Chain A
């Protein structure tokens, strides 16, 4: 028995027989597939603001979502009450999508061995609130000590434990206990002439110890303060097409926006993505190999099983520039006749799963980061980003640099004000001419939004040079 079974079977008194009955009810009007997603989520957040902890918050949410799939049609209903009659009612509601004779689910469930991607001695959620409070206070002190021009500091600590049970009419039975912890710091700096901000954060599927050993509050605080101070002297960014070098790690948001979303199978099944029909074709320079890997230990974007109960995988999206695969869930795998890559994810029990990214990154190349910068006559070196967005259908994507510098004659020079980079997904990576040997993943801050659903993700790249990209500044 796993912990989940203990939780849902014991706390809520659900039995394997109940589960069969719920699935039977879900398929009472026919349909190809039905599943139930049980979720029990506890979370804590604590913030320091103006050097005091003004508030702390804790919460619990629980519920069950029932899905019935019939051809390309999906019926969905959920309940936040796990009493049998409420789940049966949700199952009957979802069942109305199908119009036919009742079907029977597979009798008995099969539970496969899960990945064990988050081996945590003591989950953050169990740690004393005072220990979490001390972490945010340390961040506040550290950021303020960094420079007297730091006038405002906010730091926050957030953790959650999501316990899930997924059962499907094909015999799927999967459980997972998914921890998550995240630390964030933002600073405002002021000089007589200007104001600026800086932000940093990170975490993953880690315990509280991570913040005492691997990435300390001081690490995040000083990084946020450093960025704010640098930005005080930033000058206008240039406008127009030029060479762009992306630093390692979080700038991998380029991959997420430029190609990741466009390779989600649902968009391609419907022919709504600029990448539709491009399997086997060149979409990047031959230096580019890009994967989506949900199996990296302790990473924010990693999960043992996806939210349909399928094990996560390491999926090659682009190999030496050639488009190799899409990210799929059960529905798109069945309808497109492709393998299920274990990318069916959802925000919560109240949401229908769909293909989503996990950790999306480019493999390291051979170039030294120093050589990459030296090769640029006039361009932009972008090392930190706010957020990004893509229009899947025409492929246009943007991402906004929060820390960037000019490169002039092979040297990194002045810091630049916030600027947005814009490009076209299907050809942006064809302009990658150098790939560094320094692959890094981001520190664990990414949240991806799609159709109103947010899920945690990771990104990463080595230092990259794009021969041409439009930089959205104001200076000629």
Chain B
């Protein structure tokens, strides 16, 4: 593979100029406000399986998106064509579309005094491409080998990979705001397959993700942890339906945080599509629960110096000691709800800004996962959710799970092909224990959680 993955065809100044030019051309074309985003990205991926290279991918891409306003009407366009002809179509198309959309009293870009950037949040390290190509492949190969060598029951592999990427984003608007930032990431992943004496197979995975090679975990530690996770599933069985406490490992607890995010975001609130609608200021979770969104953490996977509309990101306490304190809002939903934006606009190239989280987490508790499990006479330790059975309007929750049965405070045999069900409104109030093991492996994170009173459906 190419040692140098610099696919950026222009310089930073070129991208800034391009974003600003597109905005000014939209304004000259009759727009009353405009906002452009330019994104340039490169990616490298090496996938290894059973010691051999399976795929190598090395490429870059770029794109531009424009949002144009004619008074209170808005429309947007995007393109990967940076030619004169392409830019003309981008601008002309947005203005033409904006003529047919409806007047919306709340449409618009933020006010000038809302705009700004937090500057360098340590999101970019050029060392993610520093390894020579053969060593990148070797990183994946070592992770897989560590998994395969961990136990003779690991006989196959769904592959291991090393990935690196960088991206640069420029946002400009007709108030004269031009902001930019770069981000980098690198990751190593392994997915071994174990087989028991009856020929039944199980697969699991583990990974490490970092903004810099300097903090990427070793290939060997990732491979060994992937092996441990896979082996603990061997011999899994179904259990009879029962109502018992469940303990969520941090990875699946994180997906409950995703559900909370979906329920507190302003889009769901104003559309009356959230089970937490109308609950601001009320107790919605157990008294030990504090949930924070913070887009400002240096090096964080969810950090950005400004949001998708140019508003500086911030720290927002969403739930404090069980009380619902704040929605997460972009400019539009803030105006809609008569509140201030929380700097949570997310902006791809296409369409209108949505709402995205920064680093969204549940504050850790004091007890170890072992202590939490140790208290439970009978229960289910869950390490995988399967499917999408969550209804955000009602809070109804029903998902497939895999895990390990807890008996007298000990993890015993693995369990699969069962579901757990309840309602998120109750589940948040029934979180009775919070682990001390909070760790960010993405922009959303939670420690180990114990939830009481859920129904496990099996035989």
Contact = CB atoms under 8 A, between A and B. Distances in A.
B80 A60 contact: yes
Contact of B49 (A97, A270, A422): A270
B103 interface: yes
Interface of B: 1-2, 9, 49, 52-63, 74-81, 86, 89, 93-94, 97-98, 100-104, 107, 133, 156, 158, 193, 200-203, 233, 236, 238, 241, 271-273, 275, 349-352, 384, 386-389, 391-394, 396, 398-400, 402, 416-423, 455-459
B387 A79 contact: no
A472 B86 CA distance: 51
Given A54-B107, A56-B101, A394-B200, A418 B59 contact: no
12 contacts: A50-B271, A57-B351, A61-B80, A73-B53, A75-B55, A76-B56, A188-B271, A196-B394, A270-B49, A270-B158, A272-B156, A470-B457
The 5 closest A-B pairs by CB, nearest first: A472-B419, A398-B387, A239-B457, A52-B102, A393-B203
A352 B55 contact: yes
B75 A77 contact: no
Interface string A62-98: 1100000000111111111100000000101100110
Interface in A120-156: 129-130, 133, 151-152, 154
B272 A389 contact: no
B55 A239 contact: no
Contact of A474 (B59, B97, B422): B422
B419 A420 contact: yes
Nearest to B100: A129
Nearest to A54: B104
A387 B389 CA distance: 8
A270 B55 CA distance: 14
A400 B58 contact: no
Contact of B100 (A53, A237, A419): A53
Contacts of B1: 75, 93, 96
Nearest to B106: A54
Contacts of B62: 80
B389 A80 contact: no
Contact of B398 (A90, A388, A400): A400
A375 to B, nearest CB: 22
B273 A72 contact: no
Interface residues of A, number: 82
Contacts of B77: 57-59
Contact of A61 (B79, B100, B104, B200): B79
A396 B386 contact: yes
Given A62-B81, A93-B1, A396 B422 contact: no
B198 to A, nearest CB: 12
A129 B133 CA distance: 49
Given A396-B417, A398-B419, A472-B389, A239 B241 contact: yes
Contacts of B422: 474
A423 B101 contact: no
A400 B396 CA distance: 11
A107 interface: no
Nearest to A129: B100
A6 to B, nearest CB: 17
Given A394-B202, A396-B416, A470-B459, A58 B93 contact: yes
A133 B398 contact: no
Contacts of B399: 398, 420, 472
Most buried by B among A45, A270, A388: A270
A77 B59 CA distance: 5
Contacts of A388: 387-388
A197 interface: yes
B102 A59 contact: no
Contacts of A471: 457
B419 A422 contact: yes
A392 B9 CA distance: 41
Nearest to A239: B457
A389 B385 CA distance: 10
Contact of A195 (B351, B393, B417, B418): B393
A135 B97 CA distance: 16
Contacts of A60: 78-81, 86, 89
A75 to B, nearest CB: 5
B458 A470 contact: yes
